[in-house]
């Protein structure tokens, strides 16, 4: 019992990270049908920006988090303008190749400047540990911070997407780009904005990971990027609540599997679930196929 | 006044509009009829900026607009209700209407237009919070027209509003189109239902293979033997 609760706590933290990254995948896919494989690397850049700000500039956790988010959103806008916009009307395979190239470009540019070595993230978020259930369950206050920040960002995202004009234009453009244009939506601007928001969330995840797991390196984006992609597909790619659900679900499954089945097979299980879901419910667990009325 | 002068549109090698010219005076209902693939939708897309003509001019009150993009065209007062309705299925009826008013900043006037749309289409009012994708086909068409009106256009371009709808709903929608016209909105109506379109419109153009084949007063075309043979029978 205690073991399960402990794993649940760990799972929620890991799930928060996946969910934050998965949101960017799903939003970008929703609007331009592109799997942005560089998204995991934006998360990595976020972690490094957080590292630099806390280590060299002595900034605290919150300002570093916000600045990392800002930097990543600018990076996201630039990537879209430079790499994806010119090929917006090309085939999917060229888009995919471009995305992979951008990913490699970010990884190795980063490696050139900061060296491939793993760095230790400073302990900016002083956590205290709370033990309960006879000392068998340990809750680090960092777990609480991560969850609180994730929830806050998600609530903010929902607010933007559902209540603001730019958010509505994002939804409209992802439902029907041409119709959105006929309403007067500037689709280029809307796509830029979508990249900005998605990348900011990835940047936040990067800083949170640095704070939580303490180590960062230039290739740290690859695996979580893939996992978050799995999470987005699990929840139904293009569906925002789906990405949130998929992220937490995957985080939870992964920690449970590591605890009870051995951490060696946890990735196999994650991708196994992906395959299973794609076979049974190709639109994702939260995806519905609504019939078009003709 | 909205005018097309020798407009040519290509899709790759396909020459979809060939030196097409037409003219719509303020206050009119003009219909553009023709068979599948004749170039009706392309004509509307050229006006609203979704496709760019290779050559030719499109003029609104004498000012050339053929190189503007869709948002700029909407702001000038031309609203295009596309073929197949194209409502935002996963947004509510209300949100769809809000999207129609996207470029507008006159909040209090927008409010009045919500009421205007709801009085034209009371069924939309009852279903205001419902997801647009769950509406019936006829209601979706009403929403598409209502959404187009929310831009408060001077020119309303309607692409096959009768498509796929039961005759009784079509009748209802066409009578509302007349009402909209009577409140001062000029209408360019694209239709395959030539009979109904000619009965509704003041003037008509018949398009074939991207070219205007005939034009004239709707009543006259309705009684023209060639038109009867090609578009009204069967
Ligand atoms: N995006 C496109 N790419 C290539 N060809 C196109 C495209 N859109 C239209 N066409 C072609 O241009 C021609 C005119 O098409 P358009 O859609 O304007 O016809 P329409 O009169 O509206 O037909 P319908 O009554 O079937 O709606 C057709 O031959 C069509 O195949
Ligand atoms: Mg058409």
Query: Measured at the alpha carbon of residue A86, what is the angle toward residues A177 and B90, in degrees to the nearest 5?
Result: 15
Nearest to A24 by CA among A13, A12, A38: A38
Q: Which residues pair with B63 in a beta bridge?
A: B60
Strands A129-132, B186-191: pairing is: unpaired
Confidence of residue A101 (pLDDT cuts 50, 70, 90): very high
- Give every strand in the sheet of B14-24, ordered side by side: B14-24, B2-11, B55-60, B63-64
Q: Which of chain B's residues have a Cβ under 8 Å away from the Cβ of A175? A: 88-91
The two tokens of residue A189 are 């601007």
Q: Which residues pair with A246 in a beta bridge?
A: none
Q: Does residue B82 lie within any of the structural domains?
A: no
Encode chain B (234 residues) as per-residue pLDDT tens digits. Answer: 999 999 999 999 999 999 999 999 999 999 999 999 999 999 999 999 999 999 999 999 999 999 999 999 999 999 999 999 999 999 999 999 999 999 999 999 999 999 999 999 999 999 999 999 999 999 999 999 999 999 999 999 999 999 999 999 999 999 999 999 999 999 999 999 999 999 999 999 999 999 999 999 999 999 998 888 888 875
Q: CA–CA separation, A132 vs A9, rounded Å?
A: 13
Name the minimum distance, in Å, from the CA of A173 to any CA of chain B. Answer: 9
Q: pTM here?
A: 0.91
Between residues A62 and A262, which one has the greater pLDDT? Answer: A62
Name the minimum distance, in Å, from the CA of A74 to any CA of chain B. Answer: 25
Residue in chain A nearest B140 by alpha carbon? A293
Does the pLDDT value for residue A129 go beyond 90?
no
Total domains, chain B: 1
Give me the domain span that covers residue B217.
1-77+194-234
CA atoms within 13 A on the CB side of B70: 24
Q: Find the radius of gyration of the CA atoms of chain A.
A: 19
Q: Strand, helix or coil at A219?
A: coil
Does the pLDDT value for residue A267 go beyond 90?
no
Q: Which of chain A's residues have a Cβ under 8 Å away from the Cβ of B48? A: 182
DSSP string, B10-36: EETTEEEEEEEEEEE-TT-EEEEE--T
Out of B88, B95, B140, name the one closest to residue A293 (CB): B140
Cα separations (Å) of A128 from A12, A97, A121, A141, B111? 18, 45, 17, 6, 53
Say yes or no: domain A2-280 is CATH 1.10.3470. Answer: yes
The pLDDT value given to residue A287: 79
CATH number for the domain harbouring residue B46:
3.40.50.300
Best interface-test mutation with B: which of A184, A190, A286, A287 has the largest number of B CBs within 10 A?
A: A184
Name the minimum distance, in Å, from the CA of B14 to any CA of chain A. Answer: 18
Where would I find the beta strands (DSSP E) of chain B? 2-11, 14-24, 29-33, 55-60, 63-64, 78-81, 155-159, 186-191, 203-208, 211-217
Nearest to A29 by CA among A231, A264, A294: A231
A239 touching chain B per CB within 8 A: no
CB pairs under 8 A between A and B: 70
Backbone region of residue B86 per phi and psi (left: phi > 0; alpha: psi in -120 to 50; beta: other values): left
Nearest to B80 by CA among B178, B26, B161, B11: B161
A194-246 pLDDT, tens digit per residue, is: 999 999 999 999 999 999 999 999 999 999 999 999 999 999 988 899 999 99
Q: Which ligand is the nearest neighbour of the Cα of B17? A: 1
Q: Please, where are the H alpha helices in A87-220?
A: 92-114, 141-163, 165-175, 177-182, 187-213
8 Å CB contact of B103 and A183 = yes
Neighbours of A172 (CB within 10 A): 25
pLDDT > 70 fraction of chain A, expressed in percent and rounded: 98
Q: Does residue B223 lie within any of the structural domains?
A: yes
Q: CA–CA separation, A42 vs A39, rounded Å?
A: 5
Confidence of residue A32 (pLDDT cuts 50, 70, 90): very high
Neighbours of A25 (CB within 10 A): 28
Does the pLDDT value for residue A289 go beyond 80?
no
Place of tokens 């007062």: B77
The pLDDT value given to residue B234: 58
Q: Does residue B184 lie within any of the structural domains?
A: no
Q: What mean pLDDT, rounded, does chain A reach? A: 92
The pLDDT value given to residue A255: 92
CA atoms within 13 A on the CB side of A108: 6
Reported ipTM: 0.95
* Domain extents in chain A: 2-280
The pLDDT value given to residue A290: 46
Does the pLDDT value for residue A30 go beyond 80?
yes
Does the pLDDT value for residue A291 go beyond 60?
no
CA dihedral A253, A256, A258, A260 (to 10 degrees): -140
């Amino acid at each position: 019992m205690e073991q399960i609760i402990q794993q649940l706590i760990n799972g929620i933290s890991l799930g928060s990270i996946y969910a934050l990254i998965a949101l960017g995948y799903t939003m970008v896919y929703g609007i331009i049908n592109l799997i942005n494989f560089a998204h995991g690397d934006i998360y990595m850049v976020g972690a490094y920006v957080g590292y630099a700000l806390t280590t060299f500039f002595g900034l605290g956790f919150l300002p570093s988090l916000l600045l990392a988010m800002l930097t990543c959103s600018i990076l996201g806008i630039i990537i879209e303008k430079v790499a994806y916009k010119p090929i917006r009307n090309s085939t999917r395979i060229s888009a995919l190749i471009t995305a992979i190239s951008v990913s490699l470009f970010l990884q190795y540019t980063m490696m050139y400047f900061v060296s491939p070595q793993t760095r230790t993230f400073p302990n900016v978020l002083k956590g205290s540990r709370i033990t309960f259930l006879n000392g068998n369950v340990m809750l680090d206050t960092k777990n609480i911070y991560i969850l609180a920040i994730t929830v806050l960002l998600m609530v903010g995202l929902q607010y933007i997407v559902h209540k603001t004009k730019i958010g509505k234009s994002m939804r409209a453009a992802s439902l029907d780009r041409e119709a959105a244009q006929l309403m007067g939506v500037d689709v280029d601007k809307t796509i830029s904005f979508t990249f900005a928001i998605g990348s900011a969330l990835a940047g936040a995840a990067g800083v949170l990971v640095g704070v939580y797991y303490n180590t960062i390196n230039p290739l740290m984006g690859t695996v979580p990027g893939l996992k978050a992609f799995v999470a987005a597909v699990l929840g139904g790619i293009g569906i925002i609540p789906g990405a949130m659900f998929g992220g937490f679900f995957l985080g939870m499954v992964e920690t449970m599997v590591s605890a009870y089945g051995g951490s060696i097979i946890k990735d196999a299980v994650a991708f196994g679930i992906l395959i299973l879901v794609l076979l049974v419910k190709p639109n994702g667990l939260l995806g519905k196929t609504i019939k078009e009325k003709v | 006044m909205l005018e097309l002068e020798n407009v040519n549109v290509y899709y790759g090698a396909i020459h979809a509009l060939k030196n097409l010219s037409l003219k719509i005076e303020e206050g009119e209902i003009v219909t553009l009829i023709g068979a599948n693939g004749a170039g009706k939708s392309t004509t509307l897309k050229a006006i609203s900026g979704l496709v760019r003509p290779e050559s030719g001019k499109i003029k609104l009150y004498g000012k050339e607009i053929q190189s503007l993009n869709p948002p700029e065209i909407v702001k000038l007062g031309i609203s295009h209700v596309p073929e197949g309705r194209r409502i935002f299925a996963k947004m509510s009826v209300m949100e769809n209407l809000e999207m129609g008013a996207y470029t507008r900043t006159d909040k209090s006037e927008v409010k009045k237009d919500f009421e205007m749309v709801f009085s034209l289409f009371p069924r939309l009012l009852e279903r205001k919070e419902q997801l647009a994708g769950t509406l019936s086909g006829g209601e979706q068409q009403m929403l598409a027209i209502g959404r187009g009106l929310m831009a408060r256009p001077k020119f309303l371009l309607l692409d096959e509003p009768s498509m796929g709808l039961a005759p009784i709903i079509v009748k209802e929608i066409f009578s509302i189109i007349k009402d909209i016209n009577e409140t001062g909105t000029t209408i360019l109506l694209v239709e395959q239902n030539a009979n109904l379109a000619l009965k509704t419109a003041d003037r008509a153009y018949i398009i074939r293979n991207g070219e205007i084949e005939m034009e004239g007063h709707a009543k006259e075309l309705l009684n023209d033997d060639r038109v009867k043979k090609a578009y009204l029978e069967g």
